[in-house]
Structures are given as C-alpha cells and as structure tokens.
Amino acid sequence: MTTDITKNLKAALWVPGLPHVLKPEYNKAYAELGKAMEQAGRQLKEQGVERILYYSTQWISVLGHLYQAKKQLTGYHVDENWYDLIDLPFNFKIDVAFADKLAKAATAQGYQTKLVDYEGFPVDTGTITADRMLNQTGARSNMVSCCVYSDYADTVKLAGTIRAEIEADSVPTAVVIVSGLSGRWYTREIDFVDDGVSDAGDDKWNQKMIALFESGSYDNAEKLIGDYAGACKVDMGLKGLAFLKGVGALSAGRKAKCHAYGGIYGTGAAVMSF
C-alpha cells in the first residue's frame, strides 16, 4: 500500500472516524471503507509497524495540545449520536515514554501541552473505530488532540516536532489521521442503505481534492483548502493535511492512494495512504 516515508515513519493514513464502517451490512460504502481500513491494517502489520500515532479531529482541545499518557487505557464508549448503532469498548497500550517526549518537544517550541493520564478518559469514537480496524497486532498507540485554535501553519509546525521525535528513536511508526472530508451531514433520519455524500457539489470537491493528493500535487491542494472548506463544511478545515505535511508525508514525489471513498451520513469519507 505504501513505501516507508522516512527511516521510522512507515506509513501515513487518512481514515474516517465514524462507527458506520463497523457495520458493513448496512451500506456498500461502509463495507468498502471498512474493508480498505482492514487492508491498511494488514499492510501496517507487514511493514512491521509497532506504534500507531492517532490525530483525530474528534478529540478537540482548546487550551493547547493534549497527549494521551495512560499506559493501559481501557474503557467503554458510547457515541453521543450513534449510541444505538454500536457500543465501543476499547483497550489501548499507550507509549507513555514517547508521549512524554512529544509533549516536551512541543513545549520547547512554545506550545502549551498537557499529558493526560486518567482512568475513564473518554477516547473519541474516531480513534476507537480506527484502532479497531487498523491495529491488528496490538501495537502501541499515541494520541494527540486537535486544538481548535491551532491553525494550518501552526499544526504543520506542531507535527514537525512529532516528526523529529519519530526519527529520534527506532520504533517503526504509523501516523493516522482520523477525519472526514466534506462535512454536510444529513440532518434528517435516513435509511442507512440510502446513505451517500449528501451534496453533489461536495462530492465533486472531495474527488477533486483526492485526485490532487493522488497526483502528489499537495501545493495545489493546499491552495484550494480555503475554498474547499468554505464550500463543503470540511472537517476541521482539512487540518489533518497539515499534520501529514508536518510529519513529512507530503514530501515531493510521494503520491497518495485512495483505497475507498464514499458517504457516511452525508459526509465525505475516504481511506487514503500517503
């Protein structure tokens, strides 16, 4: 699916964060997205990935950035919207030492950071869903919050501190962005079988951006982010791309590959490797 990005960064993925992908029987797109995530997980296994670092747009922070640091993070999550779709028990092995390094590196660059080490911490739906599909070997995890006041450039810089730490140790690592594309939800009740991207314009925009990623035209894609985000209510303004840029996944010559694309309750969803 992908070649190594750097010595230790083995893969960079973009996956949707909605639990519908765990219900392949409900909709063809859910099944395809879920299958692509499982395939990506197998690829991580083949590449020998031992640590997965998640950046989910569903774990937001407002006073700086938070880094998950509870060694054995277990719990039982019920989504605030999709509470009757599926329950999500979770069990993460957090690389605490690495979380500490990441926080210190960011702090040294002027970011306000906090390590999070609390029983009962509510891991977000997206991270749990992604981990369930991708983490097929029980690899260690790390999680960084998505600070709503950290803009695109600031997020690139933050992710740069993470890149340096990934390279500074020897653990084969994958970075996973858990995020949607267009964010125009269906705001009415639909039958899951009828689900899809809710707006034809959003669908075109999503595919246009994916095509740019697949051609490696990241500079051009970045120039369109403002228009795209404004037109399609894009999840966190496509800030996940900034994170990928910061960790080095958008370097010249690297092309993304889209493994599956579809709609989840009207929003755009894709499984992409960079």
Partner 1 sequence: MPTSGQGRIIGGWLAPHPPHLVYGENPPQNEPKSRGGWESLRWAYENCRKRIKEQKPDVILVHSPHWQTVVGHHVTAVPKLEGLSVDPIFPHLFRYKFAMDVDVELAEAIHDEARSDGLIARKMTNPKFRVDYGTIVSLHMMNPDWDIPVVGISANNSPYFYDDNIGQEEMTKLGEATKRAIEKTGRRAVLAASNTLSHFHFNREPNPELPEDMSKEHVFSQSQYEWDVRVIDLMRAGKTKELMAILPQFMREAFAEVKAGSLTWMLSAMGFPEIPATMHGYGTVIGTGNAVVEWDLESRR
Nearer to partner 1, 121 or 137 (CB): 121
Nearest distance from C-beta of residue 259 to partner 1, angstroms: 26
Nearest distance from C-beta of residue 125 to partner 1, angstroms: 11
Nearer to partner 1, 35 or 233 (CB): 233
Nearest distance from C-beta of residue 1 to partner 1, angstroms: 31
In whole angstroms, give the CA distance from residue 211 to residue 184.
Answer: 20
Residue type, 165: E
What the block records as the tokens of 155 is 């997020």
Whether the Cβ atoms of residue 57 and residue 239 lie closer than 8 Å to each other = yes
Nearest distance from C-beta of residue 135 to partner 1, angstroms: 21
Nearer to partner 1, 188 or 253 (CB): 188
Nearer to partner 1, 118 or 257 (CB): 118
Nearer to partner 1, 58 or 135 (CB): 58
CA angle 118, 51, 258 (to 5 degrees): 115
Q: Which residues are near partner 1 by CB under 8 A?
A: 59-64, 66, 76-78, 80-81, 83-84, 87, 112, 114, 116, 118-122, 124, 149, 185-189, 233, 265
In whole angstroms, give the CA distance from residue 101 to residue 31.
Answer: 38
Whether the Cβ atoms of residue 249 and residue 240 lie closer than 8 Å to each other = no
Nearer to partner 1, 72 or 112 (CB): 112
Nearer to partner 1, 160 or 180 (CB): 180
What the block records as the tokens of 270 is 């894709």
CA distances 218 to 107, 181, 196, 212, 256, Å, are 28, 16, 26, 7, 10
Nearest distance from C-beta of residue 128 to partner 1, angstroms: 13
Quickly count: other Cβ atoms within 10 Å of residue 2's Cβ. 20
Nearest distance from C-beta of residue 78 to partner 1, angstroms: 5
Q: How many CA atoms lie within 13 A of 272 on its CB side?
A: 32
Nearest distance from C-beta of residue 121 to partner 1, angstroms: 5
In whole angstroms, give the CA distance from residue 98 to residue 100.
Answer: 5
What the block records as the tokens of 179 is 């995020």
